[in-house]
Structure 1
Amino acid sequence: MADLKPCKVCNFSRQKYYGLVVSSLDQLKQKGCETLGFPSQTSVSVVLEDDGTIVADDAYFLCLPANTKFMLLHDKEAWGPTKKIDGGTAWLSRESVVLETDEVDTTFSGTDAWQSLAAQLKQDLASIILLSDAELQTLVDVPCDDLASALGFPRKKAQALQDTLQTVLDRREESRQSKELLQLYLKTVQREQGASQDDEGDDSLQMDETDGLEVDSRSGFSSRTLMVLKGKTSPETRLSNQELQMVVTQGATSMEQVLGWDADRTAVLVQACGAELATRLQKVQALKSLSAQSQGTGDASAAEDADQTQAKRSK
């Protein structure tokens, strides 16, 4: 009888580890599938949990030390390193969470990316606040049934999670827009008070830049802008004024080629962008009007005080 080898097995999410005693690689696959709850007759591959090395034959399997950790993968599942969660404090070291350039972990791509993110959320849902806009959008775009399967959630719960992720995206964009509107107001007040040209040229108070984002040479849109335009929910509310103006200027015909959409869908988007831009401009005009009224009230009060002073001197 072959020597028995104690070992540990888990699935790609690493949620739980199970101890087994087996004599061969085939027995590991058989007992592992039963222990992890894989469907019968499922074809699986075995990799080392710590570095993803594929274990393909008994000779290599028998050379491994006792209590080695193995990961069983099936279908389109792929190995990924363990992502350590810092308890939600990483954002404290950032100057501005919402203004950082969107980055995607280049260790994974395609299906592997969203599965790794899903595994991270399965371990700790609070890690949502640490995800970048691009990572949140990746999870929102995943088919709901696939996400539910990866998380082990009912479909209704997975849909609620995607709605929550979209809400997080929308709130971040609202924060961007509020900051942009405030900057426009401050810039308008400075101009009306005769701020110097040097102050007006200070780039540190300008709107969010797109430095570090890849720009499509054909359309002129940044990668982030294209990602937002192709988003699921009200993309026009997540664009800056400059980006909205670019969409409206391009027009429906040009945007069809940029987005690869049909004419009707593109026309609806361009119209929505135009309406959003008009609404924001109205807000800016309202702020200007309030500023002008405030200055006018101050001038009138100063003139009245001067008249009263002159009257007292005459007496």
Structure 2
Amino acid sequence: MEKSGDERIGDSFPYKVVDCSREKRFGVVASSLQEFIDKACEKLGITGSVKVVLEQDGTEVDEEEYFNTLERNTSLMILAGNEKWVQQGRNLRVPGDEVDGGRGLGRLLNRLHDDLSHVSLLGGCELELLSDMDPDSLTDIIPDKAFLDQLKEASGRFLSDKRQAQEALDLLKLYHTATVMQEDIAKKNRVSQ
């Protein structure tokens, strides 16, 4: 599939880049695979050797020719070191755990079972995973189904609160930017009078 001229920004095209946890997402404009990698790593704060894959299905993008066939705004994931692509909402990678059909949650579930207050410290990806989990399928890890039901509900509440807080922060940033712009305009108007 050839890219049409109206999608071009100079000699570059826009892409989306995401880290393996899917918590950081940025836009990048690049004209080559290497330029994309350089800009994406800078935005994500990643150094060293990386692999580029399609976020949707984990297909590796390692050739310039294939990169040039991608449509604009394609979402690409940067994997650093020994990170692996995981289907969104599917499995949570916990250091020291093997991820095998959701059983990688075992260590996390056990830690939360010991102290449920740790749920408030989890990131959005982990909270989303817990709020989407099926408690019935995890009773072999934690036999206490009531706990799993409560954990699912609490995770959903914390995830919702976290999203609302992020939206409030985004609105405050917009308000601050607008205020600064208005002050700058007012200063320019005073100077020009």
What TM-score do you get using the length of structure 2 for normalisation?
Answer: 0.49
Hey, which of these two has a bigger chunk of strand by percent?
2
Q: Which has the larger radius of gyration?
A: 1
Q: Relative contact order: is structure 1 or structure 2 higher (C-alpha 8 Å, sep ≥ 6)?
A: 2
Structure 1 length-normalised TM: 0.32
Higher helix proportion: 1
